[in-house]
Amino acid sequence: MIQKNDGMEEAVADESTAPVDDVGRVETLSEDDGGVHEGSVPIRSVIEAVLFSTDSPLPAARIGKIAGGLSAGDVKGHIAALNEHYDEHGASFRIEEIAKGYQMLTLPEYNEWLSKLFKARGEFKVTGAAMEALAVVAYRQPVMRAEIEEIRGVGCGEVLQRLREMNLVKIAGRADVIGRPLLYGTTKKFLEVFGLASLDELPAIEALKERGTKGSAEGTEGQRDEGIEGEDGTEAAGDQVNKVEG
């Protein structure tokens, strides 16, 4: 029910036929879109609201539980329908599967403007040397520090420590060899930062060989062990800096 300010006229709007307005806002989902939740709220709208409110990926099972006992399959079906709805109406976001869960994310074509919004926020700066170490961990995990250093040709103790502080790398156990050295692996945040649903989505190593060989040659020359720029802005010598939002 839409009531005008003067209180004299009313217009009834049927949610199932509500059009997109002149500025392109997505129309309200109807009761036919996925059923009606308690209180006459469309279930699909409940799922949408839950995903809109979270700042981290939610598993389908958890979304289903919040929405009133839906199965994971039902939730995935509703998410697919929501994405189709967003696509039809030119929305600037989609619900993406990431880090074994679902999260509402803006489309890549809006990065130019969003980067201006987040520019003022604090960022960790990951150098080329640290990215190399992180790549070795990602592709070889669980991996020992000695293996990482053998591949890179330099020490990486400080690099691994800072990657752990940034929650991109974790201790994954101990190797079954003399001394029981620590094994390193990537974290859930690693998947979130790089937009991966799972480690299976890592690019094929063959596609990175040429770029990786060139980067290793440039990064090794004059490279320091630290490999990561501190939050005070001090840059490690000879390393190219890539920003990862903290």
Question: Got the DSSP string for 3-70?
Answer: E-TTSS-EE---GGGPPP-TT-PPPPPPTTTT-EETTTEEHHHHHHHHHHH-SS-B-HHHHHHHTTS-
How does the average pLDDT of the chain come out, rounded? Answer: 75
Tally the domains of the chain: 2
Residue 189: count of CB within 10 angstroms of its CB: 17
Q: Are residues 241 and 157 in the same domain?
A: yes
Q: Are residues 158 and 207 in the same domain?
A: yes
Q: Are residues 235 and 158 in the same domain?
A: yes
pLDDT for position 29? 47
Instruction: Read off the pLDDT of residues 142-159 as tens digits, 9 standing for 90 and up.
Output: 999 999 999 999 999 989
Q: Are residues 157 and 186 in the same domain?
A: yes
pLDDT for position 140? 93
Does 112 fall in a domain? no
The size of the chain, in residues, is: 246
> What angle (nearest 5°) sits at the alpha carbon of residue 153, between those of residues 242 and 160?
50
Question: Any idea what the CATH number is for the domain that residue 49 is in?
Answer: 1.10.10.10
Residue with structure tokens 């307005």? 21
pLDDT for position 233? 39
Are 57 and 98 within 8 A, CB to CB?
yes
Residues in the chain predicted with pLDDT less than 70, given as ranges, are 1-39, 119-125, 206-246
Q: Are residues 145 and 102 in the same domain?
A: no
Does 117 fall in a domain? no
Q: Are residues 43 and 88 in the same domain?
A: yes
Q: Are residues 138 and 201 in the same domain?
A: yes
Cα separation of 186 and 239, whole Å?
A: 22
Does 116 fall in a domain? no
Write out the residue range of the structural domain in which residue 139 sits. Answer: 123-245
Q: Are residues 72 and 127 in the same domain?
A: no
Does 232 fall in a domain? yes
